[in-house]
Chain A
Amino acid sequence: MTDFLLYLTNGLVMGIIYALFALGVALIVGIMNVVNFAHGELYVLAGYFSALFASALGMHPALAMIMATLCVFVVGLIVERTLIRPTYGNEMYSLIVTFILSIVLQNGYLLIFGPYPRKPPNLVTGATNVFSLFMYGNQRLLGFALALVMIVCFFALIRYTWFGRVVRSVSIDRDMASLMGVNPQRVNLLAFGLGCALAGAAGVILTPIFPVTPTIGVGVSLTAFVVVVLGGMGSFAGCVVGGILLGVMENLGAAYISSAYKQLFGFIILISALFLRPAGLFGRKRA
């Protein structure tokens, strides 16, 4: 029983972080209809930035995390402005462009940082006795809390701020929003930057636990796509439920069946969910 709770906790911690970076993909898909294949590479970039800022520049690890996320936000803005904007109106081009970007970034990381795993120092050390049942790493508990706070902030931003309302209006009816005076290109730019920043936030949270290497971004992107499709394209609530579901199933499957098939469990859930609900768990039919 204690084991089961431990696996479940692991699943929840991973799931909420999956949800965090998948929200970035869902935001960009919902606003721009662009599937960003370089999402995982931006996660990795944030990991490298946080490691660099903390070790090379001697920043406090918490400050390094914030700075790294902001840097990825800015990188997202630059990518949107230079690479995505020329592809407006043709999703196939943006798909190819972001795919190329992911390969370029992977090789760039390899060239600059080498193949070795990098991580910033832990923010906290030690472990806590959870429910007086098992010891659980403080860094993971902190990661869980941070990711949860980020997700709550994201939902509040989308639901209650003027920015969120404008973003929603554009995702519902882009032409109508522009007739209301909303500049759709500006919304695209900010949404893309914010989506990348969510990948970055997940990156700085997880890197102290799972150090980054040049190619782990591929797994991050794939996981994000699975979560987004599972939850329903463009549904934010679906991302959270899908992320947690995937995290829990992966960890229980790895513990009780075989850890060699960890990736497989995600796809089994995905395929069976799509079999029952083709539009995803929270998906709405698209015109």
Chain B
Amino acid sequence: MTAQTTIRKPNEKPAKNPEGKNQATGSKDIVLSVKNVSKSFRLPTEQATGLKQLLINWTRGIKGYREQSVLKNISFDVERGDFLGIVGRNGSGKSTLLKLISGIYTPDTGSISYKGKLVPFIELGVGFNPELTGRENVFLNGAMLGFSHNEIEDMYDDIVAFAELEDFMDQKLKNYSSGMQVRLAFSLAIKAQGDILVLDEVLAVGDEAFQTKCNNFFSEIKKDPSKTVILVTHSMDSVKKYCNKAILIRDGKIVVNGDKNDAANIYTEDNLRSLQKDAKDSSKNKYPTGLNEKVPYMKCVPTSKMVLNSTDSFEFDIEYEYKPSNPVYIAFSMLDTRRGGIPYDSGSILLGNNGKERQKVHFSLPLTLFNNGSYQIVASLRKADPDNPVETLREGFTSDENSCTFSISEEANGTDYALLKYAALDMHKNGTTDIKRY
């Protein structure tokens, strides 16, 4: 990934230097400090609540609940101008942490302190009421975020224009489509700029146009050194694109604190590992999808790391069992799960007449050509087609749970929306000529 900076796509964004955002000033200006924060919840063990249950629990001498520890001794600092990503699998405690930062929950131990105005968006459009008109909802939601009637009056036109809802503001919210509601909520949110913005999964909603608006908003706020953003997300793309720091939480503990690439990679690996684990669990069934009595077992098993650089090769075994005694072929495809399409297919490879026991074939896939992305290897066992000597017929294949996945993730060099790297092809520019119109 070197020396491709001369050829740039026309719509490419200017070079970013997220890591350098703070270093310019040199001094550390901490706006949010989380120190040794722990949090646990009481989960009731009895179904009923209320006076009766309290009395019953009291007479039986039981507590009626158990402690569930959600966050354990979390500490981190956020500096002014930071764009912090918080990642972690479902149930790892991200949202609890966000609610603690927003002051909705109070920590059991430890402390959280911040400077300036903190605006939380645990959800867009908090307090929206379907029975009120769009206009009334703007004022109500604005009040929730701490803006007076006059202040909202001043930004009202901007909000409506950004949401593109000029004609609907006197309609009740219940007559809005869900997309319209989200647009209104989001445009309110981005006008309500505090010093620290706390966002939870906001990017996960809305259509493409809305996503683009989010995108622009984040790119803009990222450049502003006075604004600090804390973003909880499952999208590693957003983490890599916007954040300059990231925190990975696993089971209520901070695993990675600081480096966004580490956080994103370990998160991806966590997820892939859990997919493999799921696959292992479900392979106990007699014949999962793609398998049958001729091919009772077939599975792709990675033998190298699953998050790689493009200089690495992805190493994997295809394990299989083939009952008939005719010659057997194997083929695998490499699927691009993010951009779609099949970048590579191995074609049928003759394995010959194998024994009926379990076999494995090892493959090594060089990744030099490819940009960052998530890929899946799907393999199939085939036999010769009696009607057509150049074709093969599929006997069995690996379903999603028996396929293996890997991803290429390295320091982004330019964009990675194309599958192939710049250097994959030898591009030639043959001079520039004027086109004359006659």
Do A and B truly interact? no
Interface residues of B (CB under 8 A from A): none
